[in-house]
């Protein structure tokens, strides 16, 4: 008992009371399952997760440390209704109690489907499912990669179906297909197979099959994770998604290049049926052989037709001999005709030839005509020489006569110049007159040719050459005078 207060209640410090409360809560609620909706979700830089779990009346602080967060089957996100499992503890510095979470489950299939649908819509808005991103599946791949569990029936169904249809080399990446860490293993397998070299010890596949058998929505949750969808979309190798049964649909189906309703169907889509391919090849070969046979028969028929149209060698020789005979006859006939023509031409030419006496007489006539022409030329030249001699004797008298004619011409030119100067317009301008012209350099002779406002130019006695004075008619008198 405290003598000062008279009370027997123990006295605690704040820290002591916080520790007592923490111990009491952890002992009373060492393991608790709480259902509610996640809000205010936050991930710290160290990897710890924090959120508030709420219902319509209350809220509960939750913390999930990194070691436990890495094992969660469901990734927390705002708006998701979940059932969390953990222990109740306190945070003494703020006097708050909280739930230390180590497991998270989706509260009901409806909430899980809503989360999956919201995630699918968000990834679709990013263009992760666009058709133009999808690649065709190779017709006959050499190597097929499979990402699935090595213990389940899926890999056996795929291998069995491949052996039946067309045996191919298979590279298996064993991975968990449900539970904690399954999504990360599936994404890691897709990335690993993409990094293989085509000619390496383990050859890179030409096509990938990613899938598992059927199950509940919770069982297929790994194939609804964002990390798997992004790994499929980033794959350089075409991916066939084969998850569950025909009615099961996951986000991986939307991200893949081709969706198969079952893993067995995925194997059928990956390779053709060898027997059908062989039968198709045999059918094609038979059709090709038949076509070649028909082509050969057609060409033989054409060859026979041409052979029948060709004449026998003896007939051809006879025909050529006949053509030679006809040609020789034409040559002989044409030769005789040509000889006759040459003889006629020679006779005509010989008739035109003159005798030596005729040629000498003609030469004498030409010589006489030439002598007569020479005599006339010599006489004309003699007369011209006599004229030049007479002109030389009369040169002084011709000089006086030329000087008189030049003086007479000079006096006539001077008189004409004076007359022209007296009648020049410049003399009129010197007496005070002016010359009126319109804009088109046309002389104005009558006042009635002008109008009020009309532009004119005036040429005065002292106007510079080519620059008359501009003016404008202001008014005209009734009788037409400006």
3-state secondary structure of 81: strand
The tokens of 224 are what? 């609804």
What is the rounded average pLDDT of the residues 358-378?
72
Contact assessment for residue 138 and residue 207, using Cβ atoms and an 8 Å cutoff:
yes
Percentage, residues of the chain above pLDDT 90 = 26
What are the DSSP calls for 179-229, one per residue?
STTHHHHHHHHHHHHHHS-TTSSSPPPSEEEEEE----TTTTGGGGSHHHH
Domain 138-276 has what CATH class? alpha beta
What are the extents of the domains in the chain? 14-107, 138-276, 426-472
pTM here is: 0.48
Residues 186-196: tens digit of each pLDDT: 999 999 999 99
Residue 171 or residue 340, greater confidence: 171
Average pLDDT for the chain: 81
Cα 220 to Cα 231: distance, rounded to the nearest angstrom: 17
Q: How far is it, in rounded angstroms, from Cα 207 to Cα 226?
A: 21
For 369-402, write each residue's pLDDT tens digit: 777 777 777 767 767 766 776 666 666 666 677 7
The dotted CATH code for 14-107 is: 2.40.50.140
β-pairing verdict for 469-472 and 455-459? antiparallel
């Amino acid at each position: 008992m405290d003598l000062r207060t008279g009370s027997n209640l123990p006295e605690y410090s704040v820290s002591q009371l916080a520790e007592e409360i923490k111990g009491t809560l952890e002992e009373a609620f060492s393991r608790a399952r709480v259902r509610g909706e996640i809000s205010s979700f936050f991930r710290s830089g160290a990897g710890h997760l924090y959120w508030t779990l709420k219902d319509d009346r209350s809220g509960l602080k939750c913390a999930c440390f990194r070691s436990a967060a890495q094992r969660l089957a469901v990734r927390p996100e705002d708006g998701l209704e979940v059932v969390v499992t953990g222990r109740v503890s306190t945070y003494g510095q703020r006097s708050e109690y909280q739930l230390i979470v180590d497991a998270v489950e989706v509260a009901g299939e409806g909430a899980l489907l809503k989360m999956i649908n919201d995630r699918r819509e968000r990834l679709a808005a990013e263009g992760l499912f666009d058709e133009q991103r999808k690649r065709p599946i190779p017709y006959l791949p050499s190597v097929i990669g499979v990402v699935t569990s090595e213990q389940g029936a899926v890999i056996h169904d795929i291998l069995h179906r491949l052996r039946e249809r067309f045996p191919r080399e298979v590279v298996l990446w064993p991975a968990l297909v449900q539970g904690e860490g399954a999504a990360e293993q599936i994404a890691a397998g897709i990335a690993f197979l993409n990094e293989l070299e085509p000619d390496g010890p383990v050859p890179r596949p030409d096509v990938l099959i990613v899938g598992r058998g059927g199950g509940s929505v919770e069982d297929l949750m790994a194939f609804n994770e964002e990390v798997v969808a992004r790994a499929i979309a980033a794959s350089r190798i075409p991916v066939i998604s084969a998850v569950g049964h025909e009615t099961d649909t996951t986000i991986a189906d939307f991200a893949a290049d081709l969706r198969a309703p079952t893993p067995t169907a995925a194997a059928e889509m990956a390779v053709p049926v060898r027997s059908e391919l062989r039968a198709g090849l045999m059918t094609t070969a038979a059709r090709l052989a038949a076509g070649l046979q028909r082509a050969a028969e057609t060409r033989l028929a054409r060859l026979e037709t041409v052979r029948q149209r060709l004449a026998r060698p003896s007939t051809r020789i006879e025909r050529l001999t006949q053509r030679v005979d006809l040609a020789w006859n034409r040559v002989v006939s044409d030769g005789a005709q040509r000889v006759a023509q040459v003889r006629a031409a020679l006779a005509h030419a010989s008739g035109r030839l003159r005798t030596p006496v005729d040629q000498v007489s003609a030469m004498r006539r030409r010589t006489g005509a030439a002598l007569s022409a020479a005599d006339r030329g010599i006489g004309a030249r003699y007369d011209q020489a006599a004229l030049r001699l007479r002109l030389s004797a009369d040169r002084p008298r011709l000089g006086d006569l030329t000087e008189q004619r030049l003086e007479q011409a000079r006096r006539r030119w001077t008189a004409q110049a004076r007359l022209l100067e007296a009648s020049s317009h410049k003399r009129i301008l010197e007496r005070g007159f002016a010359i009126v012209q319109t804009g088109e350099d046309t002389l104005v002779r009558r006042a009635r040719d002008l109008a009020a406002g009309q532009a004119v130019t005036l040429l005065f006695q002292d106007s510079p050459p080519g620059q008359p004075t501009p003016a404008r008619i202001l008014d005209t008198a009734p009788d037409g005078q400006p």
